[in-house]
C-alpha cells in the first residue's frame, strides 16, 4: 500500500486488512504460546503464511520452527521448493516422515499403494509429542468447505489430537485464547478469513514464488470420474486407460496419489487470478461441474489428512 493510497482512504484495502489480521494472529501465537511450530508444506497457502510471518517478525527470526510432514509421495518440485524457501529465509525446518512412522509401526498401510495422506496426522502427532509443541500454525481457510465455515481461528485439540466440534471455545472480537494443559494443543489458522481468490491476489501483490506445478504445464493424465489422474510412478496407467497429454495446473498440492490437477492454460499468477475469478462468475456447464465437484472433494481429503 502506498502512502498516497493511505491519504486517499481512511480504511485499508481488503488485502491489507486480511494481511494485518493474519499478522495479528501470528503475533498472538508468539505472545501466548510457549513452543509453537508452523506447518509448512511448500504449497501456496503455507508460502503465504511464510510471507505473513516475515511481515510479523522481521527483522527478528521467526519465534517458531517450520514443520513439514512428508508422506514420501510428494512432488519433487514441491519438496525442493520447500527446502529452498526455508534456506532463503534462514529458518529452521523440521521434517518428519510418514515412512518413519511406518517403520516404527505406528502407521500400518492396508496396501502398499494406499494414499498416505490420512496417515500424516499420526506422524504430526508424533512430532508434536517429540518436540512438545503447544500450537501448530496451519494454512486452512474457512472458505474451503462448508463444514469448515464455523472453525475457530484458535482451534482446540485434546491430548489425542482430536478436534471435538462440541468442545470448541467461543471466539469473540480478536481476543484469542490459546491456553492449554500439558499434552493438549492449539491449531491456529491465520488465514481463516481468506478465500482462494484472496490468496492468489496476495501472491500476485507480494510477487511470491511458487513451485512450478501450480502453473500450466503439459502432463500425462488419465480421466477418472471427472478427475484428472496424473500418470506417475506411483499412479501408473492401468491397462485400458486412455493416457492424454493435457495442459494442466494444480490448485492444491499434496500426496501424489490423491492430488489431481485441473485443465488449464494459465501460466502466470495474473491468469490464474482470472481463472479463479471466472470460475465463480461464469455460467456453469456440466463438464465444469464435475471438475468442481472433484476439486472440492480433493480439498476435503487434504484437510482430513493434515488437520
Partner 1 sequence: MSAIESLPGIDNGLLRFLTCGSVDDGKSTLIGRLLFDTKAILADTLHAMARTSARRGLEAVDLSLLTDGLSAEREQGITIDVAYRYFTTGRRKYIIADAPGHEQYTRNMVTAASTANLAIILIDARKGVLTQTRRHSYLAHLLGIPHVVVAINKMDLVDYDHAIYERIRGEYLEFAATLGIGDVTFIPLSALNGDMIVDRGENLDWYGGPTLLDLLESAPGAHSERDERFRFPVQFVCRPQRSGDPKLHDYRGFMGRVESGEVVVGDEILVLPSEQRSRVKAIEIHGRSLPRAIAEQSVTLLLEDEIDVSRGDMIVHVEKSARVTRRIETMLCWLGETALDPGRKYLIRQTTRETKAAIEAISYRLDINTLQQMPAEHLGMNDIAYVIFKLARPLCLDAYAENRSTGAFIVIDETTNNTVGAGMIL
Minimum CB distance to partner 1, residue 13 (Å): 4
Tell which one of 100, 241, 288, 300 touches partner 1 (CB under 8 A): 288
Decide if residue 232 touches partner 1 (CB under 8 A).
Answer: no
Decide if residue 16 touches partner 1 (CB under 8 A).
Answer: yes
Q: Which stretch in 91-99, 101-109, 123-131, 288-296 sits in contact with partner 1 by CB under 8 A?
A: 288-296
Of the candidates 222, 27, 59, 209, the one whose C-alpha atom is nearest the C-alpha of residue 135 is 27
Site for partner 1 in 141-200 (CB under 8 A): 142-143, 146-147, 149-150, 165-166, 168-175, 177, 179-181, 192-193, 195, 197-198
Q: What is the C-alpha separation between 189 and 21, in angstroms, rounded? A: 11
Q: Which stretch in 78-86, 98-106, 121-129, 280-288 sits in contact with partner 1 by CB under 8 A?
A: 280-288
Q: Which cell goes with 97?
A: 516422515
Decide if residue 140 touches partner 1 (CB under 8 A).
Answer: no
Minimum CB distance to partner 1, residue 175 (Å): 5
Decide if residue 34 touches partner 1 (CB under 8 A).
Answer: no
Q: Which stretch in 41-49, 52-60, 239-247, 253-261 sits in contact with partner 1 by CB under 8 A?
A: 52-60
Decide if residue 84 touches partner 1 (CB under 8 A).
Answer: no
Contact partners, residue 22, CB within 8 Å, separation at least 6: 49, 52, 56, 190, 191, 194
Measured torsion, CA atoms of residues 116, 122, 128, 131, in degrees rounded to the nearest 10? -80
Decide if residue 218 touches partner 1 (CB under 8 A).
Answer: no
3-class secondary structure, 23: helix
Q: How many CA atoms lie within 13 A of 305 on its CB side?
A: 24
Kindly state the helix (H) or strand (E) to which residue 223 belongs, with its residue range. strand 217-224
Decide if residue 12 touches partner 1 (CB under 8 A).
Answer: yes
Tell which one of 59, 105, 239, 240 touches partner 1 (CB under 8 A): 59
Decide if residue 3 touches partner 1 (CB under 8 A).
Answer: yes
Decide if residue 14 touches partner 1 (CB under 8 A).
Answer: yes
Residues that bind partner 1 (CB under 8 A): 3, 6, 9-21, 23-24, 27-28, 30-31, 54-61, 63, 142-143, 146-147, 149-150, 165-166, 168-175, 177, 179-181, 192-193, 195, 197-198, 273-274, 277-281, 284, 288-289, 292-293, 295-296
Amino acid at each position: 500500500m502506498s502512502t498516497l493510497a493511505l491519504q486517499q482512504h481512511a480504511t485499508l484495502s481488503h488485502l491489507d486488512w486480511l494481511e494485518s489480521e493474519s499478522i495479528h494472529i501470528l503475533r498472538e501465537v508468539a505472545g501466548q504460546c510457549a513452543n509453537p511450530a508452523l506447518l509448512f508444506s511448500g504449497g501456496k497457502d503455507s508460502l503465504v503464511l511464510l510471507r505473513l510471518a516475515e511481515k510479523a517478525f522481521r527483522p527478528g527470526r521467526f519465534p517458531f520452527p517450520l514443520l513439514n510432514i512428508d508422506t514420501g509421495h510428494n512432488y519433487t518440485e514441491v519438496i525442493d521448493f520447500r527446502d529452498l524457501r526455508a534456506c532463503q529465509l534462514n529458518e529452521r525446518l523440521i521434517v518428519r516422515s510418514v515412512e518413519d512412522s511406518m517403520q516404527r509401526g505406528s502407521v500400518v498401510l492396508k496396501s502398499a499403494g494406499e494414499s498416505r495422506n490420512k496417515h500424516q496426522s499420526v506422524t504430526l502427532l508424533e512430532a508434536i509429542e517429540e518436540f512438545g509443541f503447544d500450537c501448530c500454525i496451519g494454512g486452512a481457510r474457512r472458505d474451503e468447505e462448508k463444514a469448515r465455515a464455523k472453525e475457530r481461528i484458535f482451534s482446540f485439540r485434546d491430548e489425542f489430537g482430536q478436534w471435538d466440534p462440541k468442545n470448541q471455545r467461543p471466539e469473540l472480537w480478536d481476543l484469542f485464547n490459546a491456553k492449554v494443559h500439558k499434552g493438549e494443543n492449539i491449531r491456529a489458522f491465520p488465514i481463516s478469513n481468506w478465500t482462494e481468490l484472496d490468496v492468489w491476489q496476495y501472491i500476485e501483490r507480494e510477487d511470491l514464488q511458487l513451485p512450478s506445478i501450480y502453473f500450466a504445464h503439459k502432463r500425462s493424465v488419465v480421466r477418472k470420474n471427472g478427475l484428472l489422474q496424473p500418470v506417475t510412478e506411483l499412479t501408473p496407467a492401468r491397462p485400458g486407460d486412455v493416457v492424454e497429454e493435457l495442459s494442466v495446473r494444480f490448485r492444491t498440492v499434496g500426496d501424489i496419489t490423491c492430488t489431481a490437477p485441473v485443465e488449464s492454460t494459465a501460466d502466470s499468477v495474473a491468469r490464474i487470478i482470472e481463472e479463479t475469478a471466472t470460475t465463480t462468475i461464469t455460467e456453469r456447464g456440466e463438464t465444469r461441474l464435475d471438475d468442481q465437484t472433484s476439486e472440492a472433494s480433493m480439498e476435503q481429503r487434504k484437510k482430513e489428512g493434515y488437520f
